[in-house]
Structure 1
Amino acid sequence: MSNPHHVPDSTFDNVEIRDNSKVAALDIGSNSFHLVVARIVAGSVQILHRVKQKVRLADGLGTDGALSEEAMQRGLDTLKVIAESLQGFDPQSVRVVATHALRKASNAKTFLKAAKKVFPFPIEVISGAEEARLIYQGVAHTNHQQGQRLVVDIGGGSTEFIIGEGFETTALRSLQMGCVSYTNRFFRQGELKPKAFEKAITSAQQELEMIDKKYKQIGWNTCIGTSGTIKIIIELAGQLDSTNRENHVCLTDLLTLKDLCCLAGHSRDLQIQGITDDRRPVFAAGLAILIAAFKSLDIQEMEYSQDALREGVLYEMEEHLTHPDIRQRSAESLATRYDVDVEQAKRVLATTMTLHQQCKKAWKIDDKELKNMLAWAALLHEVGLQINTRRIQRHSGYILQNIELPGFGQEQQNLLATLTRFYRKKIKVAEVPEFTLLAQEKVFKLIALLRLGVLLNIKRQDGILPKFSVQADGDKLHIEFPDKWLEQKPVFRADFESESEYIKELGLKLSYI
C-alpha cells in the first residue's frame, strides 16, 4: 500500500511556471498607514496580504502647521515595523506615497530625513489631485460597473471626490476635510452634540461648494465610497436597517446614525456594535463629512469598495511594467496645451540624453528615474514661452511647479520645475530647493546637463551641430568638438565662455576645445 503522504517527484511537472514578481505599496495616510503586498502574475495583480496601522499623524498637526514630536515618533516607529515586513524587497518593487498630513506639515522634510534612517525606501509626498487619481485607479481596476461613477474617499485630513468612466477620470478634487482634522475642529473633547454636528456638516458643505455644481452637471450612474470611515458607516447602516441592499447606504441611514451619536452624548459612550476603540473618536467627524457629501451632491445611495489609494499604486506599478508611463502622457498633454515647439524640444532632448549617457557613470547619475526627469525637463523647458519670452525660464519653472501633473510626486514635480527654472541665464543657488530623496550635487549636475543641451541647440536648426565628446570627472566637465570647429563659431564660443562663468555657481568647472 502506498504512503498517502508521499508526493510523487513528478507532481506539478506539467504546470506552467509563470514569471511573477512581488510588489508592495505603502500609503502613509493622515489617520492610518496601509501596506499592501501583491504579486504580479501574467499581467494581473494578486493581493497577498494587507497591513493597517493606526498612527493618526494628522492629530499632531498644530495650529502653526508643524507636526508634533510625538506624532513624528509614532510615524517613525510604525515605519520601523513596516521596514521589517519589507525586508528582501527590491527598492524598485516598493512604492511609498504620503498624503495630506505630510503635504501640509511645515516640518515634513524633518520627518522625511528621519524616516530615511529607519526606512530604506523613498517616500513620495503626492498632491491632492494625484491622490484622487490613484484612488480612482484602485476602484476602477476592481469595480466594473458600466457608465460614469462617483468615487468618494474620506481620509484623516482630506476627502477626495472623483468622477470617471472605465480607467479615465473626468473630474477629480481633494478637499481640505478629513475625519481626524474635523474631530480636532468640531468634536475635540469627544462630546457629540447636535450643534457640533451641524457646524461640521455646514463646514463640509462650504468646502463642497467648490465642486457641487460642476459634479452634478457631469452626473454619474453609481456612487462608490472607499476608506475605513465609509466601510464602518455602511456596516453599521446594514445593522440598523435590514431592508438595505447589502454593502449600500443612503442619507436616511446616515441621519439615524447621527441621532444615535447625539443620544450617546460622548464618543466614549458610543456603544454601537461594530465600532472599534480606535475608530470611535473619529467616527462622528467622518459621518458629518459623509452627510454633507450626500446633501451637497444629491447622492441617493453609496456602495463600498475596499480598494483605494494603495491598490491604485499597485495597479499602476503593474502598468509601468507593460504600458507607457502615465507621466509620459502628462508631459505630452502639457506640451500640447502650451504649444511647445516640438522640433526644438526633441533637439534639446536628443543632445541632453547624449550628454547624460557620457556623464552618468562618472557623475553617479546612472539612474532610470533621474534620466526620465531630465528627459521630461528637456521636452518641457519652453512651456513658459506662451507667457513671455522675457524670463522664460522663470515662467516655465512656475508653470511646472503649480500645474497638476498626473503621475508625478511632489518632489518629482519640484525637480522638474527646478531644472527648467535654471536652464538658462544666471543661476541663483540659494533659490534651488533642498530635496529629500536627491542629493543637492546631483540636482546641480542635472541642471548643468540641461543647460548645455539647450545651449548646444541655441540656433534651433537641425544638422548644424557636429559630433562631440564629453568627459565628466568630479566637479569638471570637458567638451571636445572636432578640430578647429569652435574657432570658426565665434558666437558659439562666446556663449560657452558665458556658460563657463554661470556654471561656476553650481560648483562645476566647464572647459571646451
Structure 2
Amino acid sequence: MSDLYQVFNDKQHAKTELYAALDLGSNSFHLVVARVVADAVQVVSKVKQKVRLAEGLDDRNILSSEAISRGVSVLESMKESMQGIEPRAIRVVATHTLRRAKNSRAFLRQARKVLPFPIEIISGNEEARLIFVGIGSNSSYSGERLIFDIGGGSTEFAIGSGTEPRITKSIQIGCVSHQQRFFQNGEISKDATRRAVTAAKVELELAAISLNRFKWEQTVASSGTARAVCAVINSKKGVSVDAPVTYQALLDLLSQCIELGHSEALKFEGLSVDRQPVFVAGLCILIAIFQSLKVTQMAFSEAALREGVLYELQPNHSSQNVRVRTAQSLATRYAVDINYAHKVLTTCMYIFDSVKDAWELKKPSLRHFLGWSALLHEVGLQIHSRGIQKHSSYILQYSEMAGFNQDQQQIIASLVRFHRKKIRKDDLLTEASISERELTQLLVILRLAVLLNINRSKSTLPEFTITVEDNELKLGFAQEWFELSPLLLADIGQENDYLKHTDMHLTLL
C-alpha cells in the first residue's frame, strides 16, 4: 500500500495558481474558484447561494437592513472557500441592486467587516462586457453572436465575436423585480403574463433599436433564468441543457404555466424549488427578448459574468488592456491633446516616484489612478475651456468606461474635478478604495504636474528636484525654469493659497 505514495515521486509538478471570482447578483451570489494549468482554466469549485438582494430594494432605492444582513451573512459563509488564495487573484464584483441602492456604502461597510477583499460595483455595460468575455472565452464558436443574461434586477446584452463585444447594453428589468410587479402573490394568469411580456418589450424598445442594427449568427443566453427554462424544455425532450431552444417551445411552456395557475404548482423536472417564484417572470422577459430582437432559437452557456472576471484575472488577459482602449476612445472622441497629456503624465510619474516612499504610496492602484487622471484631465475642453475641470469630471464619472468599475471612475473623476483652481475639501470623495489622505496626495501631484506644464509648447521640462517632509513639498528649480515661465513664482504662490484646504504646502529651495 505504501508504494502508492511513490507513484508521483518522479512526476514533475505543473505550476498552478488559484483564482476566485465572486459575483454579487441581485438574485444570487456566485463564487467560482479555478486554477490555471498550462494556460487552461480548470474550475475547482462553485458555490451559489440565493440572497434575493433585489427584494430588499424599495421605491426610493434604499436597500433594507434585512437584505444587507442576508447578503453579509452569505459573504461570511463564502469567505472560507477563498482562504489560501492570494488577494491579487481574487475579484469581487457587484451588479444591479448595489448599483441602484443609494445606501450601497452601508452594505460595503458591513461587508468589509467579514470579507477582506474590495467589492467593485460595476456598471451595466461593464457587466455585459464581462459576461460576453466569459461566454467567449469558454466557447470555440468564432462567428458573430448575440448574448444576453437575465438577472434578478437587470438584463444585459452584447454582440460581437470572440471575447470582443462591438456593442453592450443593460436595461433595468430582471426576474425578481418583474416577479414583484406582476406575480407577487404567485398567481399566474393569461392577463398577468400578457402584461408582463408587454412591459418587458417597452423596457427593451430603445436597446432593441441599437441591437437590431447589428447582425449575428448565434444567440446565447446565460445564468439562472435561461438555465432553468432550457433545463425544463430540454429535459422533456431528453437532451442536454445546452441544446437549442425555440421560440415556440417558450410559448408552449408559458401556456403550461398558465394552466397550472400558481408558482408553487410548477413542479417541472429541472426546475428547483427556489427558482419557482421568479420562473414565470423570467420566462416573460425571455419571450419579450425573442420578439423584440426577432430571435428564433437560443443556446445556453454555463459561462457568465464570473467566468469573464476569472478570464481577466489571469496576467495574459488583464482588463488593463481594455482600459487602454477606453482611454484611447475617450481621447479620440473629445479631441484630447495627446502630446500635452503625455507631458503631464511624465511629470506626474516623476513626482510620484520622488515622493512615494516618504508618503508611503504603496498600492499599485495609486499609480494607475494618477496616470489615468493625467491622461484624461482635459476631456472636458471639448465642451468649454471655462470650468474645464467640472466638464472633465462629469464626463469621466458618467461615461460608460469599459474596464473601469464605479469606484475607479469616481476616484479619477474626483481627482480631475480639482486638478486646477479652488479645492473644496467637503466635495472630495470620502468613501472609496483609497483613503482620503491618499486621494489628497494624488491630487497635489496632479495639480503640480499641470502647473509645471503650463507652457504647452515646450517639448520637455528643465530638470527639477522634489522632496517631501510630512505635508511640505520642497521644490528645487534651475534658473532656466524662470526664463521658461516668468510667472512661476506667482503661480506657486497662488497654488499655496489653493492648497491651504488640504494642509499641504509648496516651498522653493
Match in the other structure for 1:365: 361
Answer with 247-256 or 408-417: which moved more.
Answer: 247-256
Q: Does 1:179 align with 2:175?
A: yes
Change (3 A) 1:41 1:244: closer
Determine the structure 1 residue equivalent to 2:297. Answer: 301
Matches within 5 A, 1:338-417: 338-417=334-413
SS of residue matched to 2:186: coil
| Alignment deviations for residues 191-210 of structure 1 (CA, whole Å, 9 cap, x no partner) | 11111111111111011111
When normalised by structure 1's length, the TM-score is 0.95
Q: Any unmatched runs of 5+ in structure 1?
A: none
- 2:217 maps to which residue? 221
Cα distance in 2 for residues equivalent to 1:372 and 1:280: 45
How many residues were matched structurally?
Answer: 509
Deviation at 1:241, TM superposition (A): 4.3
- Residues 171-214 of structure 1: per-residue CA shift (max 9 Å, x gap): 11011100111111111111111111111111110111112233
Q: CA deviation at 1:349?
A: 0.4
- 2:10: which partner in 1? 13
Counterparts of 1:6 and 1:85 in 2: how far apart (Å)? 32
Q: Is the 8 A contact 1:43 1:318 kept in 2?
A: no
Percent of residue pairs bearing the same amino acid type: 44
Q: Which amino acid aligns with 1:507?
A: D
Matches within 5 A, 1:494-509: 494-509=490-505
Give the corresponding residue for 1:95: 91
- For 2:282 and 2:484, how far apart are their aligned partners in 1? 71
Query: Shift of the alpha carbon at 1:321?
Result: 6.1
Tell me: CA distance 1:212–1:465, structure 2 relative to 1, closer, same or farther (3 Å): closer
1:69 Cα offset (Å): 0.6
Structure 1 residue 322 displacement after superposition: 6.8
1:259-301: per-residue Cα shift (whole Å, max 9, x none)?
Answer: 1221221112222222212101111111110010011111111
1:452 maps onto 2:452 in alignment: no
Q: Which moved more, 1:294-303 or 1:484-493?
A: 484-493
| Pairing 1:239-250 to 2, within 5 Å after superposition | 239-241=235-237, 247-250=243-246
**2:462 touches 2:480 (CA, 8 Å); kept in 1?**
no
How far apart are residue 507 of structure 1 and its match? 2.6
**Which of 254, 271, 278 pairs up with 1:258?**
254
Contact 2:31 2:48 in 1 (8 A): yes
Is the CA contact 2:152–2:177 (under 8 Å) kept in the aligned structure 1? yes
SS at match of 2:268: coil
Contact map agreement 1:411 1:435 (CA 8 A) in 2: no
Q: Aligned AA for 1:52?
A: K
Distance 1:64 1:479, change over 3 A: same
2:79–2:115 CA contact under 8 A, matched in 1 = yes
Match of 2:113 among 112, 117, 138: 117
In the TM superposition, residue 41 of structure 1 has moved relative to its aligned partner by 2.6
Q: Distance in 2 between matches of 1:172 and 1:351?
A: 36
Distance 1:380 1:310 in 2: 30
Of the three residues 121, 135, 148, the one matched with 1:152 is 148
Q: Deviations over 1:352-410 (max 9, x none)?
A: 01111112222232211110111011011111111111111111111111111100000
User: Mapping of 1:321-340 within 5 angstroms?
Assistant: 325-340=321-336
* Aligned-residue offset at 1:466: 2.7
Structure 1 residue 441, shift from structure 2 partner: 1.6
- Mean alpha-carbon deviation: is it higher for 387-396 or for 130-139? 387-396
Task: State how far apart, in whole Å, the 1-side matches of 2:364 and 2:317 are.
Answer: 14
Aligned partners of 1:235 and 1:247 also within 8 Å: no
> What residue identity is the alignment partner of 1:344?
Y
SS of residue matched to 2:211: helix
Residue 13 and residue 323 in structure 1: after superposition, are their counterparts in 2 closer, same or farther (change >3 A)? farther
Alpha carbons 1:487, 1:493 under 8 Å: kept: no
Q: Does 1:106 align with 2:102?
A: yes
Task: Output the amino acid matched with 2:488.
Answer: F
CA–CA separation in structure 1 for the residues paired with 2:340 and 2:289: 47
Instruction: Please name the residue that 2:474 is paired with.
Output: 478
What whole-Å deviation, never above 9, does each CA across 1:468-510 have from its counterpart, x for those lacking one? 2222333322222247955995400100001111011123222
Between the aligned partners of 1:353 and 1:70, the Cα distance in structure 2 is 46
